[in-house]
Structure 1
């Protein structure tokens, strides 16, 4: 059975869900899904790392992840993990990186289905005109996350 636990943070409610061995979802609101409501060690560690990230003290996450999706989505999410902290890429850049430069729209859909936002940094993908477009947690959270990465506070891991 999966476990889930919710926390209040500076960017709003964050729910963390795990399957006993890896993180499988991050949510930006409380959800009812029949999971066991328990703060496991893995969930606690994930929350600690997210808090450190929000405070500008973590630039990389060190957690087991098991995002569920299609092979294409997983390929896109792997590419997102390569975007360096504090940098952004356009949807077209990701499309080129996964081998299909005309797949910008499909990249956007895969981004929208990212089950582990923040850790798999879909917030680092922006429109080719430099504008913030689409984010499952809302554009205000996307902007907050990008602003966290712009500040040059103690960027230690």
Structure 2
């Protein structure tokens, strides 16, 4: 989930620089990059397996890394992190609805749209703009006819869709 206002730097080939993360945690599908600043989590990023673990640079990054590891061990784990106030009021409304989806359940973009009084495409855009995947489980939102996109990616065999499939299977969702 990279946007033009994202402060993470890229080098040739679009590779993210690991030093911009406060911690990098290895997970079964690759890694999670954690960026903290001023006592708040500013971003959680799905990273490919080419990223190596990085020890936490501060206490909050350590706490976030431990929570990511606990989620990998136990899909019922609920994150409790101070998240930076990023995003629009509408995105926050969508993210609150997503955060309320229980583990093991999936709603469609259309169902979430009805909950927040909006349109499915707008919900999809808010899902893709989520700075805090896992903590705000946007992987629990799917298209009416299948898995849908993930993190502004919809390539059926791409890294992000494989991450979404892993997360849903980890949480007991089958058939998507």
TM-score by length of structure 1 reads 0.81
In structure 2, the CA distance between the partners of 1:80 and 1:65, relative to structure 1 (3 Å rule), is same
Distance 1:14 1:133 in 2: 21
Which 4+ stretches in 1 moved above 3 angstroms? none
CA RMSD of superposed structures (Å)? 2.1
- In structure 2, the gaps of 5 or more residues are 1-19, 49-54, 152-158
- In structure 1, the gaps of 5 or more residues are 31-36, 152-157
Task: Give the deviation of 1:83 after TM superposition.
Answer: 0.7
Aligned residue pairs, count = 141
1:128 aligned to 2:144? yes
In structure 2, the CA distance between the partners of 1:3 and 1:67, relative to structure 1 (3 Å rule), is farther
Task: Give the deviation of 1:140 after TM superposition.
Answer: 0.4
1:42-57 equivalences in 2 (<5 Å): 42-56=60-74
8 Å CA contact 2:24–2:56 kept in 1: the answer is no
Deviates more, 1:79-88 or 1:66-75: 66-75
Q: 1:23 aligns with which of 41, 44, 51?
A: 41
Secondary structure of the residue that 1:86 maps to in structure 2?
coil
In the other structure, the counterpart of 2:129 is 113
1:64 aligned to 2:82? yes
- Show CA shifts across 1:69-127 (max 9, x none): 11111111111111111111100111111122xx1001001111111111100000011
Distance 2:92 2:170 in 1: 26
Secondary structure of the residue that 2:91 maps to in structure 1?
helix
In structure 2, the CA distance between the partners of 1:57 and 1:82, relative to structure 1 (3 Å rule), is closer
In the other structure, the counterpart of 2:10 is none
